[in-house]
Amino acid sequence: MTIPRRSPARLLAALLVPLLGLALVAGACAKDPEGDGLSGGRTDTTTTTTGAVDVTGTELVAGLVPFTACDELLRHLQAEAVERVGPYGLGGGWYGGPEIMESAVMAEDSSAGVPTAAARSVGASSVGDGVLVEGQDYSGTNVQELGIDEPDLLKTDGRRILIVEDDRLHHVDVSSTEAVRTDTLVLEGHWSRQMVLAGDRAFLIADTHVDHEFAGARPAAATLVPGTGWRPLTSLIEVDLTDPSDLRIAGVLTVTGSHVSTRVVGGSARLVVSSMPDELPFVYPQNDNGAERARRFNREVVAETVLADWMPEFVLESADGTVVDGPLHECTDVSRPTTFAGFSTLSVLTVPLDRPLARPATTAVLAEGSAVYSGHEHLYVSTNAWIDPADHEDADRMAWWDRNWDTALHQFDVTDPERAAYTASGRVPGHLLNQFSMSEHDGHLRVATTTGGPWRFDDDAESMVSVLERRDAELVVVGSVGDMGRGERIFAVRYVGDVAYVVTFRQTDPFYTVDLSDPSAPVVRGELKITGYSGYLHPVGPDRVLGIGQEATEEGRTTGTKVALFDVSDLDAPTEVATWSPGGGHSGAEWDHHAFLWWDGRAVLPFDDWRTDDHGAVVLRVDDGGITEEGRIDHRDDEATEPVPPCPLADVGDAPIEGAVVMTCEPGSGASMRDHWCDVLPAGESKWWAEEFGLDPDDVPEDLDVVVCWPDGGYVQPIQRTLVVGDGLWSYSWRRVQENALDGLDRRQVVPLD
């Protein structure tokens, strides 16, 4: 049972609707009898996915109702849209509000009896006659749960380092003493930030761009985008790594929507994608006089929609040129919450990583997704109710939402590597911080929330931990404890076994220990008040937790990076054993747990100091008694030689660009220069900008890119990731990887990625 596609006749009718809308505007004369407050034009929501039009008396329950037929699914969407459509269409609520991608989280260490920083889901890799073991011979991605991998911009198996950087995938061979970049694969039409590694294949998660005016390399994906419009597209790109000197794309799966998050569970990637429906051809009055006529017409537009207007689609391109496309879901794979949660579709795609890319099994919910967590048996996605755009302009309505904001939690069974199945739903009061707000342990889901909406501090807010268990198709709260951080909100959460560590902040940092050993009666055991806050908590032993965040004054003004070591041996009286606070700066590890490395008693984190304009990484030795700085590394270039332009210089005639280097390069080369920042004017477009850069358009070759580079004053690129291979500490910044000795931190080698 697949979703019907819009017919050519309906497409033609849709093109005629805007013309009719002009007539409505010109002929409108009646006042708006309902006075719905939408006469000011479209209003975009600014919170997470959010609630129903009439919120009074609404219970924010979370259960899902599956659809049994395509007609039922379409009728539901039409009925909800007709109820909400106004003279300006569906306003900001059209897309269910912008999604909040889950924030970065952190990992744990198995050597101390808690989950390790290494993902360990890729397994061992062979080099010669030896076998490399993740967590022993090399470090893996810093993840939330042991054995459940998460995508990141850098991956290694101990013999190679893969870096995804904008529209490129770099392969660096580190299996011998001298590392070498063996190949760079250009991902034309794609921009990627994340990937997972599975043996000799990498799977890249990318945003895909289709430009109909300039013919590109994505002709199949172009069918997903209207000829004059734009649509968010997410692609999963399978790359064959068998020949390190010749990386090849083996397949591309493109779906309409934005990537929310991905986990690798049981050898399969579970991609969560949020898809907005097509923009319908609504009409808009120029003033209040035509509002009622526009509303009536827009209701007719909704009534004439087909499922293809609402639901996501896909295109699968194989290396042999085979293309398969169509609706992403069977209608019976789609469910709806019992409380309306927007018009977007939240899709969970299951992609086995032990075989070539194929059309994935899917399950879907009519809602937005904000946070994703996965254990070994279940994946959870949080969603929220839908807020009408008018509510954002009404202080009383928003105050009501603050008092009644709930988060729905949907549980999916991921024990089958072929598909994810919806199993149950529940709800908790308040809002979640990120994926680390959730944890599954001994059959229970633990969830940390702060009451009220996520948009501001609330003097009446409190934070709590709720414990839920599954009973049939419902996740039922069996125990909860609150009254943490009154007037504050959660900044970090970490679960270790039967204990939760919760950090709240507004002016000071209460560090709470919560005993969850009795799921029906959780208890706050201890509270430690200190200045500043931790945005990221990392267990470094059975009785020690490391916090990375910001120091702050007594009034709550942040003053720079702070690393704190907490003694939690006595849950009733946690203490701060030691701190490292250089007096300024920030670290990406504060908000992105993938940027943090824990290895053999060392914490390695990026550190950028705004006082000195230094960008690098700091290595801290952590033991039971304290924190000691072992040293720092950076990517400052020691070479005194002048940078060499990698492409032929262009003739700029009598109008040179002051201080700039202008080159003509092969299309897609991505050429750059050391100590310069560069603009690339792609072939075919460069003539448009020629005069802006002092060039004669007639002298610009049509088949070459024009690259213009300006000196950057010796700016040092920030380090984004660090990892360990053998006795080397490797670090990555834009267009560069570098090896330092793990002991002593002497620089060994630099591998340019230009």
DSSP 213-253: SS--S-TTGGGGS-TT----EEEEEEEE-SSTTS-EEEEEE
Helices 291-303 and 70-84: crossing angle in degrees, nearest 10, is: 170
Structure tokens at 263: 């986990």
Cα separations in angstroms, 477 against 466, 469, 480, 489, 503: 7, 7, 7, 21, 22
| Contact call for residues 731 and 632 (beta carbons, < 8 A) | no
| Per-residue pLDDT, 654 | 59
In the prediction, which pLDDT does 86 show?
Answer: 87
Structure tokens, 603: 């914490």
**What is the block-wise mean pLDDT of the chain (754 residues), using blocks of 10 residues?**
44 37 36 33 30 32 81 96 88 39 35 39 49 92 95 97 95 97 93 94 93 60 77 95 97 95 96 89 84 92 94 93 94 89 92 95 89 96 75 72 81 95 91 95 96 76 95 94 90 96 85 97 96 93 94 87 96 96 92 96 93 89 94 85 84 68 85 83 74 72 85 85 98 96 97 90
Residue 513 is encoded by which pair of tokens? 């220990």
Q: What is the separation of C-alpha 588 from the centre of its chain, rounded to a whole number of angstroms?
A: 15
CA 745 to chain centre: 32
Q: How far apart, in whole angstroms, are the C-alpha atoms of residue 724 and residue 135?
A: 9
> Cα(585)–Cα(632) distance, rounded to whole angstroms?
14
C-alpha 462/C-alpha 485 separation (Å) is: 6
Return the DSSP state at 389.
G
Give, in order, the Cα–Cα distances in Å from 727 to each of 600, 602, 612. 11, 13, 30
Mutual angle of helices 291-303 and 8-27, in 10-degree steps: 170
**pLDDT at residue 704 in the model:** 86
429, two tokens: 């009061």
Whole-angstrom Cα distance, residue 289 to residue 412?
49
> In sequence order, which residues have a C-beta less than 8 Å from that of residue 419 and are 6 or more positions away?
350, 361, 363
Distance CA 193, CA 516 (A): 36
CA atoms of 307 and 77, how far apart (whole Å): 9
Q: What SS3 string covers 399-411? A: HHHHHHCEEEEEE
Please, what is the end-to-end C-alpha distance for the chain in angstroms?
49
The pLDDT of residue 212 is 62
- As a whole number of angstroms, the distance between CA 454 and CA 44 comes to 17
Round to whole Å and give the CA distance between 658 and 26: 53
Residues written for the chain: 754
Q: Give the residue carrying structure tokens 């009666």.
A: 521
**CA separation, residue 281 to residues 22, 447, 660, 737 (Å):** 12, 41, 46, 49
Supply 48's token pair.
């997470």
Whether the Cβ atoms of residue 351 and residue 203 lie closer than 8 Å to each other: yes
CA within 13 Å, CB half, 722 = 30
Burial, 355: exposed, middle or buried (Cβ in 10 Å; 0-12, 13-18, 19+)?
Answer: exposed
DSSP state string for 572-627 = TS-EEEEEE--SS-B-GGGT-GGG-EEETTEEEEEEEETTTTEEEEEEEEEETTEE
* CA geometry: angle 270, 272, 278, nearest 5 deg: 140
What is the phi/psi pair of residue 271, to 5°? -90, 130
Please name the residue that has the structure tokens 């070591």: 565
97 near 368, Cβ under 8 Å? yes
Cα 592-740-581 angle, rounded to 5 deg = 50
DSSP 28: -
Question: Which residues are CB-contacts of 565 (< 8 A; sequence separation ≥ 6)?
Answer: 540, 544, 545, 546, 547, 576, 577, 578, 579, 622, 626, 627
Local structure of 711: helix, strand or coil: strand
Residue 394 has which token pair?
């009404």
User: For residue 424, how many C-alpha atoms fall within 13 Å in the half-sphere facing its CB?
Assistant: 15
- pLDDT for 21 equals 37
pLDDT at residue 505, as a whole number? 87
pLDDT of residue 109: 37
**Segments of 276-405 assigned E as strands:** 313-318, 323-327, 334-337, 345-352, 361-365, 371-374, 378-383
Q: What is the DSSP letter of 331?
A: G
Distance CA 55, CA 35 (A): 18
Q: In what order do the strands lie in the sheet with 602-609?
A: 597-599, 602-609, 614-623, 626-634
* Dihedral over Cα of 601, 607, 611, 613: its sign: positive
CB 529 within 8 A of CB 507: no
Structure tokens at 41: 């034009």
Instruction: Report yes or no: 230 and 203 within 8 Å, Cβ to Cβ.
Output: no
Which structure tokens are listed for 290?
Answer: 């035509």
d(CA 145, CA 379): 12
What is the DSSP track for 65-119? EE--SHHHHHHHHHHHHHHH-BTTBTGGGGGTS---PPPP-----GGGTS--SS-
Q: What is the pLDDT, as a whole number, of residue 29?
A: 35
